[in-house]
Each structure stands twice: as structure tokens, then as C-alpha cells.
Amino acid sequence: MVVETSSAATTITVTQLYERINRVISGEFKEPIWVTGELRSVKQSRSGHLYIDLTDPIGEEAVIKVVCWRSTWSTLERYLNSMNVELSSGMVVNVLADVKLYKGSGAIQLYLRNIDVEALLGRLAALKARLIHQLTIEGLIDRNKQVPIPLVPLRIGLIASPATEGYKDFVRQLSASGISFQITLYPCEVQGKDAPVALSTGVKELAEQPLDLLVMVRGGGSKTDLSSFDSELVARAIATSPLPVWVGVGHTGDSSVADRVANRSFATPTECGRELARLVNEYLDGIARLGARIGHLLAKELDNADKDLERAKSNTANLVKLPLQLAKGELIDLSRKLSRASIKIPETKQYMLVHTAEKIAFTARSSCKHANSELNVRAVLIARSSQRTITDHAQRLDHFRQLLFAYDYQRQLERGYTVTLDSRGGILREASKLSKGERIVTRFARGSVASSVETISEEATALSKPKSLTSKPQLPQSIKQPTALPAKDNDGLVQLDQRTRKDGN
């Protein structure tokens, strides 16, 4: 059907149409209005203008464009920064704006004048308080705090973004400690709408691996940047983790919900790494002190054993000397009595008495000489036994000392061993785990070297194995197992004498 236009009909231009629509809109929205919506996207142009897509927070598909001119946004941005607030996707905000029709696209737009920051902060605080209350009712607020921390937490599961300063600060503290930490990294986003899911997934996956401790770190930022750590997903993942979880998130204000439910929380990633290194060093220092204490006790026991042996030697000599002196006195007295009695005995028997007296005197001298010889032999045996005991205890003490030195991490590096780490900070044990172009770091006793993988050869494993700290340290050959001391009984000297005579010593 063809409609003929009368020459008398009135028409308007597109510009006139826009003007009429604007008059209708201006008549309806004479003053700026407050609009509540969820930020779908926030972009700032090079010219300094801010462009926002605002949608209904209840899930409707309605979207309206919001424009904030540079002159208005520069002032508003400074105020938001002073309140530690940064606009990001997913936030629900109240904006004060003018409603106008943009001729360039033929769409209605809002021209931003102000944002209700207090309402935004109040909404975030209310959600946070409600979540903390719910976790407290369920008994989850202190659940992870009751998970015991291992004495030496060396296997660390790290949940962080590798590109952030928070990650670098934490790893730097562990590297500077000189302790061979084994770090398993779960890289993920730490801010934005996808961050809560990523962080909670990282906690759950690492908790299933053979690790000692989980650590979640992030550098500083605004309150909205750190909103992921107030998420219910993250809080429940930390609270129900079977492993202790430490949180090191940079903040100067109130703590996050993640801080509240974690086993321990720290104001910065640096402080978290420093405390972890201190905890392990404290255990190692305790082992060193225990070793020194054992050495002191062994030395004291050896000294007491030496004194006991000297005392036994002196007592034995005194016990043998006293009967000999008594026998000698009796023989002298008997000799005198015989001399006096020989005057009354006939001359024919006097010779027999003299001969008998000489024989008795000879026998006495022989007995004294034999007793003295026996005393010397026993003294030698006691001295050998004490020396053997002292030598055996000294060997045992040397064994414990060398055993402690053999497991000293820095000592292994000084002996020429090295540690090679992959790009994720884990210790390398197989060349097949690498890929071409991957960055690796080799640590020496003094310093480290970063390199890039060019070729990978499986045949290299058939050659002599390089020294590496990933293998168990071998004890020096000079370390021997402590020998058992000889058994004692009521006649220890006789047993010792019999063994010595049998060995020909």
C-alpha cells in the first residue's frame, strides 16, 4: 500500500524530534535524581572522563549508560581515594545524576554528579557484620585456629597472584631465611568479581595435597580492592580447611573476614613470611641447644665416671695393702718370739727352727711380692677399662655432633651442593618436569643464578648425578655407631681380667 503525503502535512527534522523528547525528559526530571544500580563495567578514558554501565542489582537486563565528565570525576575521585574506595564491577552504588538524551546514539544517559559513598561503605560493613555473625553461630569463626601447626612447617601451599608485590614480598622473606622451604603455588586473581571463587578453590585444592601450611597473601589496596577477602566463599573455605591457613593481606584499617577465620593473620605479606621463617628457625635453634645440652651432659657423665674409677682404684689398693701390712707385722712378731724361744731349745733343734723361720720369712716376702704384682695388674686393668669407657663415650658424642652437622642445610651448600627451583618456586628433581624456555633458578652457598631451559635430555640421568640438596644427606664415613659398654656384675674386675687375659692384652 502506498501512502501519499499531503503537501499540507507538517514534518519535523531529527534534531527537532530530539528537542521535543528532551523537553519531555526535562519536564519529567527537572532535578538530578538518585539511581541505585550495580556496576557492570567501569572505564576511564585517556581524556579523564569516566564511563559506567549501570544495571539493576536484582538481576534485570535493563542497562543504562552513565557518564562523568573529567571536571566532576577529578574531584569525586580524590574523595573516593581519601575514603579508600575504588569503584569496581559488582558493586551496588547510589548515584546522583541528570537524565538526558544523547543525540549521538539516540539513547537516554545519566550524567553523574555524585556518589553516595557512605551508603556504599555502610552496605559493605553490614554484609561483613552479618557474615561474621552467621559464621560465629555455626562455630566456624575459630575452627581453623584450633588446627595445630606442625613443628617444622616446610611444605607451604601459597595462594596468591605471582605478578603482585605481595607475592614477591612473601617469597623474598622465605628465600632470605636460608631455609629450604618447599612452596606449592596456586596462582589466582585476588581482586575482582572472579576472585572469591578462585581464592576458595585454591584453598580446597591445596588442602588435599601433602602440605604443612596454607598461606594466602595480597598486597595493600582500597577497601573495595580487598572485598574478596570479605566473601563468604573465601571465609568458609578457610574455616573448614583441614590444614592451618595463614592470611597476610596488606591493610591498615579493619581486618577482613578472612583474617577473622584464619589460623593466624598478618598486616602484610612480609610480616607473614618473616613469622614463618622465625618459627622454623626457632625449632632449629632448639635442636642446636638440645645438642649442646647432650654434649654437656655426656662430658659431665664422663668426668664423673673418671672420678669413680680413680676412687675405686684407690680403695682397691688400700684394701690389699692393709692385709699385707697386718701379715708382715704378725710374721715379724712371730720371728721375735721364735728367737726368744730358741734359747731354751736344744742346739740340735735350733737349726730346724732357724730354717723354718727363714722359710716363713721367704714365704711372707713372696706373698707380699705376689700381692703387690696382683695389685699392679688390677690397677692397669682398671685404667684400661676407664680409658675404654671414656673413648667409647667420646665416640658417641662425636657421632651425635657429626649427625647434627650432616643435616645442616648451609653446610650442604658449602660442600658444593645446589638447589634448583622451577618457575613456581618448587624444587626440581626430574628434567622431564621442565619445558623449553622455562625459567629456573639455581641456588648456591653464596648467591643464585637464573637461567632459561634450552634443551631437555632424558639421557642426562644416566651420567654421574650432580650434588643436590633434594637427596638425603649422607653421613661421613668417620661416623660410627656407638658401641655398647661391657656388662657389669658383682665381680666386674674379675670379668674384665678374664677378658683381657683371653685377648692377650
Q: Give the best-scoring range by mean pLDDT among 12-21, 202-211, 218-227.
A: 202-211
Q: Does 86 map to a domain?
A: yes
Residue 20 pLDDT > 60: yes
Q: Does 58 map to a domain?
A: yes
pLDDT digits (tens, 9 = 90+) for 44-100: 999 999 999 988 876 667 888 999 999 999 998 888 876 667 787 777 888 899 888
pLDDT band at 186 (very low <50, low <70, confident <90, very high): very high
Q: Strand 245-249's sheet: what is its strand order? A: 182-187, 155-160, 213-218, 245-249, 264-266
Which CATH number goes with the domain that contains 110? 2.40.50.140
Last residue of a domain, one of 199, 233, 267: 267
- The crossing angle, in degrees rounded to 10, of helices 117-137 and 232-239 is 30
- 402 plus 490 within the same structural domain: yes
Residue whose C-alpha is closest to residue 468's, from 449, 447, 442, 450: 442
* Average pLDDT of span 406-433: 78
Residue 181 CB-density burial (10 A; 0-12 exposed, 13-18 middle, 19+ buried): buried
- 198 plus 257 within the same structural domain: yes
Structural domain count of the chain: 4
pLDDT band at 187 (very low <50, low <70, confident <90, very high): very high
- 259 plus 140 within the same structural domain: yes
- 433 plus 488 within the same structural domain: no
Residue type present at position 421 = L
pLDDT for residue 80: 80
* 166, 269 contact by CB (below 8 A): yes
- Cα separation of 483 and 369, whole Å? 38
> Between vectors from CA 41 to CA 39 and to CA 44, what angle results, nearest 5°?
115
pLDDT digits (tens, 9 = 90+) for 245-293: 999 988 656 678 899 999 999 989 999 999 999 999 988 888 878 877 8
pLDDT digits (tens, 9 = 90+) for 155-166: 999 999 998 888
- 135 plus 240 within the same structural domain: yes
Q: How much of the chain, in percent, has pLDDT values that exceed 70?
A: 81
- 373 plus 445 within the same structural domain: no
- Cα separation of 55 and 92, whole Å? 9
- The crossing angle, in degrees rounded to 10, of helices 195-207 and 232-239 is 10
Residue whose C-alpha is closest to residue 416's, from 473, 338, 340, 497: 473
Residue whose C-alpha is closest to residue 42's, from 90, 110, 84, 82: 90
- 134 plus 256 within the same structural domain: yes
3-state secondary structure of 99: strand
Q: Does 356 map to a domain?
A: yes
How, if at all, do strands 439-443 and 419-421 pair?
A: antiparallel
- 149 plus 189 within the same structural domain: yes
Q: Does 274 map to a domain?
A: no
pLDDT digits (tens, 9 = 90+) for 301-358: 888 877 878 887 777 777 767 777 777 787 788 777 766 665 555 555 666 767 777 7
Q: Does 121 map to a domain?
A: no
Q: How much of the chain, in percent, has pLDDT values that exceed 90?
A: 23
Averaged confidence pLDDT in the chain: 79
- Cα separation of 92 and 59, whole Å? 12
Q: What residues make up the domain containing 435?
A: 417-462
**Residue 499 phi, psi dihedral angles, 5° rounding:** -65, -40
108's enclosing H/E stretch is strand 107-115
Q: Does 273 map to a domain?
A: no
- 402 plus 458 within the same structural domain: no
**Residue 92 phi, psi dihedral angles, 5° rounding:** -100, 125
- 434 plus 490 within the same structural domain: no
- 422 plus 403 within the same structural domain: no
Last residue of a domain, one of 205, 239, 267: 267
Higher per-residue confidence, 477 vs 179: 179
Q: Does 471 map to a domain?
A: no
- 297 plus 238 within the same structural domain: no
Last residue of a domain, one of 115, 145, 162: 115
Q: Does 477 map to a domain?
A: no
Higher per-residue confidence, 222 vs 234: 234
* 106, 22 contact by CB (below 8 A): no
Which CATH number goes with the domain that contains 173? 3.40.50
